[in-house]
Structure 1
Amino acid sequence: MYDIEDFIIGQAKPEIPWGGMTMDVWGLEAEEFFFDAKDNLTNETEEYLNLLSKSKINFDYDGLCLCNNWEVLTNIILNCILSGSAPFSPLIYDLSNERIIYFHHTLTIGIYFIKKEDNLILAKLAEINQLTVSI
Structure 2
Amino acid sequence: MIATKEQERKTLEKIKQMVDELGENSYLAAAFTGAFELAEQNIENDWGITTQEYIDRAIKADENENRAKKELAAVKAELEGVRSAHRGTTKALEETCERAKRYAYEIDSLKEAMKAAKLEITTLKAKLYDYMTAAS
Task: Quickly name the TM-score band, shorter chain normalised.
Answer: under 0.3
Relative to the length of structure 1, the TM-score reads 0.21
Instruction: Specify the structure having the higher radius of gyration (Cα).
Output: 2
Q: Which has the higher strand share?
A: 1
Q: Which has the higher helix share?
A: 2
